[in-house]
Amino acid sequence: MKVILIEDIPSLGKMGALVKVADGYGRNYLIPQGKAIKATTHNIKILEHQTKQLRNKIDKIRKDAEKLAKRIEAVSCTVAKPAGDEEKIFGSVTSMDIEESLKVEGIEVDRKKIILDEPIKTLGIYTVPIKLHPEVTAQLKVWVVKA
């Protein structure tokens, strides 16, 4: 019996997969539990249509992320912090500070997407990666200057 999985099943496959299972397993467990539907021509066509729509939606999200990445790479942010001797700043520049400086530029980015291995503690020019999408990462130039 061929079935289309409605949810991920570790021993069989991922959601949307067309798999062949034993008749009893499909008829007595998968279909009544709502974990799969019978693979008829109608259901297969519906699955193909949904897969195509999902691919289009994912492509649109990726293209939007690429556009935002180009905007981010075109600007550079300046963060002013009080500093002492040897160009060490009091406190540090965190992803929250970078998020605020991007808002001033008119770009909304969640600070969880800003990848800082550790907070910036000295004056200078830094390149900070921003992961907008699993496939798209923008490089933002951040200037840390003395206030």
The H-or-E segment that residue 1 falls in is: none
Query: What average pLDDT does range 49-60 have in this prediction?
Result: 93
User: Which CATH number does 65-146 carry?
Assistant: 3.10.430.100
Percent of the chain with pLDDT over 70: 100
Task: Give φ, ψ of 128 to 5 degrees.
Answer: -115, 125
- The domains of the chain are located at 2-64, 65-146
How many CB atoms lie under 10 A from the CB of residue 8?
Answer: 12
Pair of tokens at residue 107: 């770009």
Q: Is the pLDDT of residue 85 over 90?
A: no
The single-letter code of the amino acid at 7 is E
Give the pLDDT score at 66.
96
67 against 84, higher pLDDT? 67
Looking at residue 147, its pLDDT comes to 86
Burial of 1 per CB tally in 10 Å (0-12, 13-18, 19+): middle
Of the candidates 113, 79, 110, 75, which has an alpha carbon nearest to the alpha carbon of residue 93? 79
144 phi/psi in degrees, rounded to 5: -105, 115
- What CATH class has 2-64? alpha beta
